[in-house]
Amino acid sequence: MDSKREKDHGDAEFEKITAVLLKSRTGEFDLESILFLKFRGLGIHDLGCIGECTSLERLDLSGNNITNLAPLASLRILVVLNVSANRISNLEPLSSCDSLQSLNVAGNVISSIETLQCLQSLRKLESIRLKDNTYNYTNPVCRNSLYRTILLEMFANIKVLDGERVVGRGSDLYQLCKDIDDTIKAGTYKNGQLSEHLDYKPWVEDNYWEIKRSNNAIVEEAYKQFNDVLHECRLLNSRATHMISQTERSMSLKKQPKQYTV
C-alpha cells in the first residue's frame, strides 16, 4: 500500500512543473539561471512556475497534456519553443514572447487561422510548424485548402513553414537582380572582345549571392530533421543487432554435439 502511494505521489509531481522539479532536473539553484529545458513526454498538464525561468532561451514541452500556455507569457527572451503533441487551442500568451524565432505547435487542436493572428506581432519569428509528417502530427486548421497561402501572407518574415523552406517574392527579386547583372555583363562584350571604354561595376560584391550560413530557423529545422533520421537509424541498428544476436545463438546451439547419458 505504501509503495503504491509513493508511486502515485511520484507521478503527481510530473503533472505540474514545480520549483523542486525544475531545480532537480537542471541542477540550477535559481530558476532565473535556467537557459534550456527539455520536459518531453512526462504527462505535464500544468506549467506551474515555469514563468519564473525568465532567462529561458530554448524550451521543449512536446508530448505532454498541456492546454494552457499562460505561464509562458513572461518568457521574453525565449527563442525556440516546441509544444508539439499537446492539447493546445489558444496561442495568445505567446504574443509577448518577443524574441521567439522558432515555434512548433504540430499535433495540437488549433482549429482556425484567426487563432494564429496573435503571433503577427512577433517580428523575429522565422519558423512555424503546425504539422509534422514524420510523426503524423497535425492541427484541424491544416485541413483548410488555403491554409498555407494565408499563413504566408500573414507572416511576411517566415522562412520555414511546416519544415519546408518558403520560396516567395524575395526569391523572385533575387533572380531579377541576378538576371540584370548577367545582362550588363553580356553587354560589355562586342564581337567576343571586352569593351574597354565601359567601366563595368556590379551592383553587389562577387560573393554577395553566396548562401550565408547562420544560426537561423532553417539551420534549426535541418538540425531537427537530422536528429529524427539519426533516431530512426539507431532504432534500426538496435533491432538488427538483436536479430543477429538471436541468429548467432540459435546457430551455436545447433552446432553443439549431442550428449548422451548411459
Task: Return the amino acid letter for 77.
Answer: I
- State the pLDDT at residue 212: 52
CB count, 10 Å around CB of 212?
A: 8
Residues 6+ apart with CB under 8 A from 129: 84, 103, 104, 105, 106, 160, 161, 162, 163
CA distance 138 to 216: 24
Give the model's pLDDT for residue 124.
Answer: 94
Higher pLDDT, residue 88 or 158 = 88
In this structure, which amino acid lies at residue 262?
Answer: V
In this predicted structure, the answer to whether residue 12 has a pLDDT above a threshold of 50 is no
Look at residue 258 in the predicted model and tell me its pLDDT.
56
What pLDDT is stored for residue 205 in this prediction?
61
113-137 residue pLDDT tens:
999 999 999 999 999 999 998 899 9
Distance of CA 232 to the CA centre of its chain: 17
**Residue 187 confidence (pLDDT) above 60:** no
Residue type, 102: S
Give the 3-state DSSP-derived string for 100-111, with helices as H, strands as E and coil as C: CCEEECCCCCCC
Per the prediction, the chain carries an average pLDDT of 80
pLDDT for res 9:
39
- Tell me what pLDDT residue 7 has: 38
Please write the tens of the pLDDT for every residue from 213-262: 455 666 666 767 777 777 778 888 888 887 888 887 777 776 666 555 55
Domains of the chain: 2-166 (3.80.10.10), 167-210 (no CATH)
Query: Which band of pLDDT confidence, cut at 50, 70 and 90, is reported for residue 202?
Result: low
Determine which of 67-71, 81-85, 192-196, 245-249 has the lowest per-residue pLDDT on average.
Answer: 192-196
pLDDT of 100 over the 60 cut: yes
Query: Is residue 108 within 8 Å of residue 86, measured between CB atoms?
Result: yes
